[in-house]
Amino acid sequence: MPERTDWEAKARGIVRGEMARQGITYAQLVDKLAAIGVQEDERNLRNKISRGKFTAAFLLQCLVAIGVSRIDVSS
């Protein structure tokens, strides 16, 4: 079983990867999250994603805000 930090790195990589694929900046993600009722400021968002320490609910909120409909969690 991978260490907890491995899982955090994977979660961080999923969010960052999807942001890159869509060409979305942190500032844009803040706006997109606000549009679905999630209030974050840019600094807090950057820190949260950088650490990779966030809930599954927050991961899903980010993915929905970005517009992701499918992710590959293998590898």
What sign has the CA pseudo-torsion 32, 36, 37, 38? Answer: negative
Contacts with 60 (C-beta within 8 Å, 6 or more apart), sequence order: none
* Residue 26 belongs to domain spanning: 4-66
| Residue 73 placed within a domain | no
Per residue of the chain (75 residues), give pLDDT as tens. 456 688 899 999 999 999 999 999 999 999 999 999 999 999 999 999 999 989 999 999 999 999 999 998 886
| Residue 35 placed within a domain | yes
Local structure of residue 22 (DSSP, 8 states): H
User: What's the maximum distance between 2 C-alpha atoms anywhere in the chain?
Assistant: 37
How many structural domains does the chain have?
1
pLDDT for position 9 = 92
pLDDT for position 5 = 81
pLDDT for position 25 = 98
pLDDT for position 75 = 66
